[in-house]
A and B are shown apart, each in its own frame.
Chain A
Amino acid sequence: MSFKIVVLAKQVPDTRNVGKDAMKADGTVNRAALPAIYNPEDLNALEQALRLKSKIEGATVHVLTMGPARAAEIIRESMYRGADGGFLLSGREFAGSDTLATSYALACAIRKMGKVDIIVCGRQAIDGDTAQVGPQVAEKLGMPQITYAEEIIDCSENKITVKRRLERGVEVVKGTLPLLITVNGSAPACRPRHAKLTLKYKHAATPTEKQDSGSDYTDLYNSHPYLNINEWGVNDIEHDIQWLGLTGSPTKVKQIENVVFTAKESKRLTASDAEIEDLMKELIANHTIG
């Protein structure tokens, strides 16, 4: 029985390690100054997908990412950790996409994959922090969705049981396949790269990469089909051009402000009940808590 799991993953600038040259003068992100990494919550998603794969006989995990040629790194990284392969959706037509255009493009690509049982993605990417793409993809595909997932507890007979992490606790819900899950950063960290898989897949490449590298391993790609990473351009998916890229993106950035945090006044309390009570009252009064 085939069981198809698709992971949506994104290559993002590492905004967690921001230096002083992280922003350009015009207020946009200086991508050159930040290393490109696997979006952290997408790694949590990949781990959930890989765990599911190990529980279901015949299950496969494929990663779908949209981005420039170098985003193929995300697919290789996934293969090093246990994914079976992936698809890079790439082309200038996709450039400048906001969440709406991104989810449209991703949904078109998923439709092309045929029957998909589960789509797993990170809750949000650290460059935009919108948490919109996952839910929008589900809507466009007409699938139910479970957000903020922390653990896939069970998956059998077309039903899935998922633990969600909410602000004030956890919730266990059931859904019917096919469906989309967005995974929270509180879910288990992704397994490390596996040595043998890394050596097996290190030459995996997209057609563009193979062309650019002038690699002398041509025979290798013919004899080892799993080393060919799928690369789809705009013509490989069924689409309406007006919904793609900049034209398909209604979000317009009005202004970006460079906020510099400064320390405010500090207060020193002695460990007395009275002072702590005063502080509580003050915090409730100014709506910091409560």
Chain B
Amino acid sequence: MNYFSNNPALKFQLSHPLMQKIVTLKEQNFADKDKYDYASRDFEDAIDNYEKVLEIIGGICAEVIAPNAESVDHDGPLVLNNRVQYARGTQENHEALAQAGLYGMALPRQYGGLNFAMIPYVMGGEMVSRADAGFANIWGLQDCAETIAEFADEEIKAEFLPRVCEGQTCSMDLTEPDAGSDLQAVQLRATYSEKDGIWYLNGVKRFITNGDAQIKLVLARSEEGTNDGRGLSYFVADNKHDHTVKVRRIENKLGIKGSPTCELVFTNTPAKLVGARRMGLIKYVMSLMNGARLGVGAQSVGVSQAAYDEAIAYARERRQFGKAIIEFPAVYEMVSMMKAKLDATRALLYETTRFVDVYKAYEGLEASRKLTPEEKADYKDFQRLADAFTPMLKMFSSEFANQNAYDSIQVHGGSGFMKDYACERIYRDARILTIYEGTSQLQTVAAIRHVTTGTYLKQIRFYESQTINPEFDSLRKRLISMTNLYENSVNRVVESKNQEYLDFQARRLVEMAGHIIMSYLLIIDATRDKEDLFRKSAEIYLKFAEVETRKHATYIKTFEVENVDIYKIV
């Protein structure tokens, strides 16, 4: 079994027409090929390299990480002498991936990375999550290296990035007891010592994933006397395990139990400033957050896949009333709907990732030369699309992962409620997805701007204009009328000029846009695909999306602005 080779939907995404643009921008004339013996030589070679490496990840996922998932969930990590000790399986997973050189995939080659685009990196995340969603956090924290690569000075990059590629783990230390969603309230203190020429960190962090990592990115208050986001800076600390960073405890969680969630005490921890002072929250954390949300998108799709895998295997095997339960309409409808949600969010995941890839590649290019006005405009377009799609992806994929995990247990019936089947672990693991890195409610806050400014509508019209297989014409007609409903609903809400009313209806509007976008993506994928991988899901998802869109449209149409008051609780 191999999570890459045995999943044609992933390979399909690597064949997307935009890949040519992404690889070309990313590899900058394949200049690295004479410097590094593992660098790609041309476009085909680059895609082949992606596939080769994804095959390695897919193998480790199926052969090491997935078989360890149950014992990792059971054993969990421990705290011994203020240090975290991973579960045995976690350690094995980490060693296998490190040994295979899979940390730092997206980093530039000069620091020991593979200089891969985000697409294959996100695919790796999806596969690791399918094997064990909790472990995906430890692997996914290599995102921190991206932030260092993007914003830190050369000296810090040279010090830390090669270590990430060798398999040292990272953590991003943001949250504090009184600063969760509201990070402006961060209090951990950073003081500069003129004598030592270095910063020292003092304070407490809470809910820190993989908090005992070797390399820590810490958000801290560097400007004494301030109390908002503008007094925060970003630091990198080398956790030398000399007890300047102590793990006070780890949380006992509902799910993702293998991933240690730590409470940390910093006592005169030496640290270096990343980028410019005061930009910690405003610029760097926001950038890091977008990457993390994309990561949760990948994690969610992986969990959806795992939930679906378990459900369909059980439904085929389990016999009642003389036949396999998959033959009953109530069951096959449920399982096909799971597949449709999985395929829809996967399409959205890779569409979003491509947008991120293009704008990040431009960002990289801009560092080495001036962009032409056309390139600059293209860069901004893709950045806007990435900004618009990332929160939508995070919201939908995490909500659907939970729905699929719920249905997976339902397909298993009473057995699914027992610890004997993986679906109960998947159900618990899924629950955090709609919460961390910004709740679904906060994703709506980020996404609604793109409803009112028309980013989504413009992109929907773009999808509408794409060439599709004539057999999907009737589906497109339905999507056009759904789009009209969406436009009317948006106008109705915006015309009220009432911010609270807009906030109240925001989720419904974002969902309408999302349903339409995912339906289009499935039709476009089904048009391009030769193996008939997505046709069923396209039709099934559109039926579901149509009803959901109409439901929301009706709700908004019959809802008066003052009706909001009925819901208010004082």
The interface of chain A, by Cβ under 8 A from chain B, is 191-200, 202, 220, 224
Determine which of B39, B41, B53, B60 lies in contact with A198 in the assembled complex, contact meaning CB atoms within 8 Å. B53
Chain A residues whose C-beta falls within 8 Å of the C-beta of B37 in the assembled complex: 200, 224
Q: Is there an interface contact between A199 and B49, defined as CB atoms closer than 8 Å? A: yes
Assess whether B557 is interfacial by the CB under 8 Å rule: no
A-contacting residues of B (Cβ < 8 Å)?
37-41, 48-49, 52-53, 56, 59-60, 96, 99-102, 105, 114
Q: Is the CB of A194 within 8 A of B48?
A: no
User: In chain A, what residue has the closest Cβ to B49?
Assistant: A199
Given contacts A191-B99, A191-B100, A199-B53, 4 further A-B contacts (CB under 8 A): A192-B60, A195-B102, A198-B56, A199-B40
16 CB < 8 A contacts A-B: A192-B59, A192-B96, A192-B99, A193-B59, A193-B100, A194-B100, A194-B101, A195-B38, A195-B56, A195-B114, A196-B114, A197-B38, A197-B101, A198-B53, A200-B38, A224-B37
**Residue with the highest number of chain A CB atoms closer than 10 Å, among B38, B49, B52, B102:** B38
Q: Does A199 lie within 8 Å of B100, measured CB to CB? A: no
Closest A-chain residue to B104, C-beta based? A195
> Which residues from B are CB-within-8-Å of A224?
37
Q: Pick the 3 closest A-B CB pairs, nearest first.
A: A199-B38, A195-B101, A192-B100
Are B114 and A198 neighbours in the complex by a CB distance under 8 Å? no
Whether A196 contacts B56 by the Cβ 8 Å rule is: no
**Smallest CB-CB separation from B105: which chain A residue?**
A195
Q: Kindly provide the distance from the CB of A287 to the nearest chain B CB, expressed in whole angstroms.
A: 37
Identity of the chain B residue whose Cβ is nearest the Cβ of A226 in the assembled complex:
B37
A220 to B105, CA, bound (A): 25
**Alpha-carbon distance A20/B186, docked complex (angstroms):** 64
- Given the complex, which residues of A lie within 8 Å of B99, measured CB to CB? 191-192, 194
Report the minimum CB–CB distance from B396 to chain A (whole Å): 31
| B38 / chain A contacts, CB cutoff of 8 Å | 195-197, 199-200
Task: Give every chain B residue within 8 A of A200 (Cβ-Cβ).
Answer: 37-38
Take A191-B99, A194-B101, A195-B100 as given contacts and tell me if A202 and B48 are in contact as well, using a CB distance cutoff of 8 Å.
Answer: yes
Residue on B nearest A198 in the bound complex, by CB? B52
CA distance A196 to B100 in the complex (A): 8
Residues from chain B with Cβ under 8 Å of A198 in the complex: 52-53, 56
B56:A199 contact, CB within 8 angstroms: no
Cα–Cα distance between A194 and B103 once the two chains are bound (Å): 11
Q: B57 to chain A: closest CB distance in Å?
A: 9
- Chain B contacts for A193, CB-based, 8 A: 56, 59, 100
User: Which residues of B have CB within 8 Å of A199?
Assistant: 38-40, 49, 52-53, 114
Complex: A200 Cα to B56 Cα, angstroms: 14
A202 to chain B, nearest CB (A): 6
In the assembly, what is the distance between CA of A191 and CA of B63, in Å?
Answer: 12
Q: Nearest chain-B residue to A199 (Cβ)?
A: B38
In the complex, A78→B432 CA distance in Å? 41
Minimum distance in angstroms from A16 CB to a CB of chain B: 13
For B49, the chain A residues whose CB sits under 8 A away are 199, 202
B66 to chain A, nearest CB (A): 14
Q: Which chain A positions have C-beta within 8 A of B39? A: 199
Closest to B34 in A: A223
Chain B residue nearest to A195 (CB atoms) is B101
Docked Cα-Cα span, A224 to B56, in Å, equals: 24
Pair A196/B48 contact, Cβ less than 8 Å = no
Residue of B41, B60, B99, B100 contacting most chain A CB atoms (<10 Å): B100
Min Cβ gap B49→A in Å is: 5
Complex Cα distance, B42 from A220, in Å, reads: 13
User: What is the distance, in angstroms, from B54's C-beta to the closest C-beta of chain A?
Assistant: 10
Which residue of chain A has its CB nearest to the CB of B52?
Answer: A198
- Whether B53 lies near A195 (C-beta < 8 A) is yes
Question: Which B residues are CB-close (under 8 A) to A197?
Answer: 38, 101
A164–B418 Cα distance when bound, in Å, is: 43
Q: Which residue on A lies nearest to B48, using beta carbons?
A: A202
User: How far does the Cβ of A19 sit from chain B's closest Cβ, in whole Å?
Assistant: 16
**Nearest CB in chain A: distance from B369 CB, A:** 27
Bound-state Cα–Cα, A191 to B40, Å: 24
Residues of chain A lying within 8 A (CB to CB) of residue B48: 202
Whose C-beta in chain A lies nearest to the C-beta of B97? A192
In whole angstroms, how far apart are the Cα atoms of A197 and B99 in the complex? 11
Of all chain B residues, which has the CB nearest A217?
B41
Can you name the residue of chain A whose Cβ is closest to the Cβ of B165? Answer: A196
Q: How far is the CB of A36 from the nearest CB of chain B, in Å?
A: 15
Q: How far is the CA of A193 from the CA of B101 in the complex (A)?
A: 9
Question: In the complex, what distance in Å separates the CA atom of A236 from the CA atom of B318?
Answer: 60
Q: Do A202 and B96 touch across chains, with their CB atoms under 8 A apart?
A: no
Cβ of A195: which chain B residues have Cβ within 8 Å of it?
Answer: 38, 52-53, 56, 100-102, 105, 114
In the complex, A193→B60 CA distance in Å?
Answer: 10
CB distance from A203 to the nearest CB of B (A): 9
User: Nearest Cβ distance between residue B410 and chain A, in whole angstroms?
Assistant: 33
Bound-state Cα–Cα, A220 to B99, Å: 27
User: By CB atoms of chain B within 10 A, which of A193, A194, A195, A224 has the most?
Assistant: A195
Q: How far is the CA of A196 from the CA of B37 in the complex (A)?
A: 8
Among B48, B101, B105, the one with the most A-chain Cβ atoms within 10 Å of its Cβ is B101
Name the residue in A191, A198, A199 with the highest tally of chain B Cβ atoms < 10 Å from its Cβ: A199
Instruction: Report the bound CA distance from A243 to B317 in whole Å.
Output: 54
Query: Which of A193, A197, A224 has the most C-beta atoms of chain B within 10 angstroms of its own C-beta?
Result: A193
Give the residues in chain B near A191, CB-CB below 8 Å: 99-100
A199 to B39, CA, bound (A): 7
- Which residues of A sit under 8 angstroms from B114, Cβ to Cβ? 195-196, 199
State the Cβ distance, B109 to closest chain A Cβ, in Å: 9
Considering only CB atoms, which chain B residue lies closest to A224 in the complex? B37
